[in-house]
Structure 1
Amino acid sequence: MKVEIATEPGTAGRANEDFAAAGPGVVVLLDGAGTPAGAECGCEHGVAWFAAALGSGLLAEVVTRPDRALTDCLADAIVRTAALHGDGCDLAHPGTPSATVIAVRVTGEVLEYLVLADSVLLLEHTGGRAPVAVSDDRAGRVGVPLRGPVDALAAGTSEHTAALRSYVETLREHRNREDGFWVAAADPAAAYAALTGSVPLAELTGFTLLSDGASRLVDTFHRADWAQVAGLVRGEGPGSLIREVRACELTDPEGRRHPRGKARDDATVVAVTI
């Protein structure tokens, strides 16, 4: 596999809460769930630390234990990361750091994948067939009816910040519940709620992993479809997609035309050629 990674924080000088890494036949991407100003998370380390700790632990699990299912590897990594927090962190806090997860492993002639929450795995098929986007939309289904007050306000204002904090705190009540949505946090049961599957390598030319800060070119700004995203990344590199997203964000800095929680978000693209 040839792997190319591009990543950029949404705000200069602020920690990037995305994490991406690759090993022999394995790629992982995590998108940490940011904590809005004024909201508590119960953790003295923060979201960027959590995404990096869980992501690096997951990569090690998948690389060193090729006989284990991806769900089992993620569950083990969640348990190990929870043990790293220490006594200063309250893992029972409803806002304890969490992250989306994508893990991909090539085993023999098969690509295995795991997708938890709303990052996007784009599978690029042979024969000119349209790419297939794999993403878990349960958080979106829960969140859309709750977003009205946030979307009605200009991003960057104190009113928007307060509405976003209220929205996130309400959304937490639905996190890691059967009738809600699932993310990787402190409960290993979340691993078994992930979307999983496999595809013969012979059917693929490559695949791309996108945090939601990068996928917003399609699902927020509606400036491209998945085939165009795949073409852009393959033609000009993964950084080109982030540049396109930043250009869209600049044309709507207050989120008036395209409401969103963050005017600019951390963005990560991992392009893999088979």
Structure 2
Amino acid sequence: MHIVDTHLHLVYPDRFAYPWIEEVPPLQGAWTAEAYFDRAVPLGISAALHMEVDVAEAQIAEESRFMAGVHPRIAGVIAACRPERADFAEQLDRLSDLAALRGLRRVLHVVPDDVSQSETFRANIAALAARGLSFDLCVRADQLPLAIALADAAPDTVMVLDHCGVPTMQPEDFDRWAGDVADLARRGNVMGKISGVIAYGGEGPPEQRLRPYVEHMVACFGWDRLVWGSDHPVCTLGAPLEDWVATTHRLLEGCSEAEVAALLHRNAQRIYRLGEIES
């Protein structure tokens, strides 16, 4: 069963500036496509979407263009954007000839909550539908109501909730997270992404602490609205890529072949419009 990784970050510090990585020493240095696929292909990962790495704003378009051609197994790119700006259409126009472009992302947990609540932001996200582009929702668990409001404001735009909505992994917070995820999943334009959560804290072996969250995502979104992502190299803050893939397979034991295929590659091919990808 091959895997399409829908959330791969590649870091080329010789080409791009990553201000946020300066505060995360374990992620400093190069994380290249060659190094990733050398590890990923033996694990069954046949292709990946490059997820923007919040480079310096002036380099957003350059990052997307570079990553689109950096390796033959990169199936598409998700570009950074600034939907809060009045020049959002011009931002998209600068990428309009990039055939590999599949969607956009604005990391919302690094900006004030009111950024995504402005009329400009919401109108710009709604406009993505006409361009056939999706929007990845990158919010913390406490910001899930903001994601719900955004999904309601742009009902024709396909959105993908990154990292299971970033739960705190604290038992006392589970019910609130679960309720907000269930509410968000009632919006048919929103998909879920099981990505990178092995890096989150909590007690017990990874499979044990992650199972309630993964099972809740399945219960809310169903097998046809979920994708898988590594969040490499951020996932390495908790465990190596090999451990995350192995944990994923253990979590999927007992599931049907069709369910596993849907999560690991078929939904990604449909939602991100990747077409057929051979293993």
Answer whether TM exceeds 0.5 for this pair: no
Structure having the larger proportion of residues in strand: 1
TM-score normalised according to structure 1 size: 0.33
Structure having the larger proportion of residues in helix: 2
TM-score normalised according to structure 2 size: 0.32
Bigger relative contact order (CA 8 A; separation at least 6):
1
